[in-house]
Amino acid sequence: MTVDLRREVRVAEQVHLDDLDEATFAAMADVHRRELHVHCYRMLGSFQDAEDAVQETMLRAWRRRETFEGRSTLRAWLYRIATNACLDLLARLRPKPATGGDVRWLQPYPDHLLDELPAPADDDPEAQALARETIELAYLVAVQHLAPRPRAVLVLRDVLGWPAKEVADLLGDSVNSVNSALQRARAGMRAHLPAERQDWTGEEGDPATLDLVRRFTEASVATDVDAIATMMRDDVRFAMPPSHGLTVGREAVLAAWVADGYPAMTGLRAVPTTVNRQPAAAYYLWREAEQAFLPLTLDVLRISAGTVTEITIFHGDRFPSLGLPERLGPDQDGG
């Protein structure tokens, strides 16, 4: 179908959606699929759960298309449906928010999919920083500690910039209730974000940071625990969802790795990548029976002031969703 989909969206705001056939409606809604997916991911913390929420959003939108009256944009209408789909999913799957620092359902989001989002204007560095830092793992973990409705208020108000009145209409609350929920949500975020993250500062593509990531990855492949230790901050935070909760402190983290037998591991290769706008390395382990290096883990790093401050490790089963190779041959260079 050769149509200008964004023109179709504008036209739809002037006509009844139930006048459209299913294929045209689906094509128009798909224009917004990636940003809806990222919205659901912020709400849910899980790439797979976000997939389910977006599928439910599209199904609900088609079934309820006659309720679109053109008083808002199609995009805003879809966001309303997506937010409610997420709240319903949270009520069913996770009736209580996360506790402590343990978010076992956390999954990474590949940067190549984030690149599909509409980019903030080059002359708006604040919007660029907001888009990057509200997709980082530390932000997502903090969000998961909020109750569902304050979580929705925070994302709609602080990330999407919706007016309090529109959020109140979506949630069936008063503006005062929404403002109160936003204050509680912001307080909850301050309590769970690492201290240096509260001012939303950070550099992307800094040469010193890239060099530190390279040295950390090389030391990890060599299982050089002493070298790794020199690059960690004293209060480094480590988690490995869903199998390992939060561990804080260099000595505690290294002790956990030693207990898991990491220093004795040989036959590693690494593929550099990025997820959630953070540097990462995909590690592969040599399997003699397969005569290949097969997926092992994905290590996602946060760098602050020249040291590694957070390490989140995901299992190799996430590699397909991240677009990473399923195997490396014996002669393939991991870099």
Query: What's the confidence (pLDDT) of residue 39?
Result: 98
Q: What is the pLDDT along the chain (335 residues), one digit of tens a residue?
A: 334 545 444 544 555 676 677 888 888 899 999 999 999 999 999 999 999 999 999 999 999 888 887 778 899 999 999 999 999 999 998 888 887 667 889 999 999 999 999 888 777 888 888 999 999 999 999 999 999 999 999 999 999 999 999 999 999 999 999 999 999 999 999 999 887 654 444 456 688 999 999 999 999 999 999 999 999 999 999 999 988 888 999 999 999 999 989 988 899 999 999 999 999 999 999 999 999 999 999 999 999 889 999 999 999 999 999 999 999 998 877 66
pTM score:
0.90
Contact 303, 279 (CB under 8 A): yes
Going across the sheet that includes 292-304, the strands are 244-248, 232-240, 307-315, 292-304, 278-287, 268-275
Query: What's the confidence (pLDDT) of residue 329?
Result: 92
Peptide bond into 295 cis (omega under 30): no
Nearest to 285 by CA among 334, 244, 320: 334
Q: How far apart are CA 82 and CA 78, in angstroms?
A: 6
Nearest to 186 by CA among 227, 209, 153, 140: 153
Q: How far apart are CA 50 and CA 88, in angstroms?
A: 12
CA 132 to chain CA centroid, Å, is 10
Paired sense of beta strands 268-275 and 232-240, if any = unpaired
Query: What's the confidence (pLDDT) of residue 203?
Result: 53
3-state SS of the chain is CCCCHHHHHHHHCCCCHHHCCHHHHHHHHHCCHHHHHHHHHHHHCCHHHHHHHHHHHHHHHHHCHHHCCCCCCHHHHHHHHHHHHHHHHHHHHCCCCCECCECCCCCCCEHHHHCCCCCCCCCCHHHHHHHHHCCCHHHHHHHCCCCHHHHHHHHHHHHCCCCHHHHHHHHCCCHHHHHHHHHHHHHHHHHHCCHHHCCCCCCCCCHHHHHHHHHHHHHHHCCCHHHHHHHEEEEEEEEECCCEEEEECHHHHHHHHHHCCHHHCCCEEEEEEEECCEEEEEEEEEECCCCEEEEEEEEEEEEECCEEEEEEEEEHHHCHHHCCCCCECCCCCCC
Which whole-number Å values give the CA distances from 104 to 6, 144, 273, 312, in the listed order? 38, 10, 22, 11
Query: What's the confidence (pLDDT) of residue 196?
Result: 64
Domain boundary assignment for the chain = 5-197, 207-322
CATH number of 207-322: 3.10.450.50
Contact 302, 313 (CB under 8 A): no
Query: What's the confidence (pLDDT) of residue 146?
Result: 96
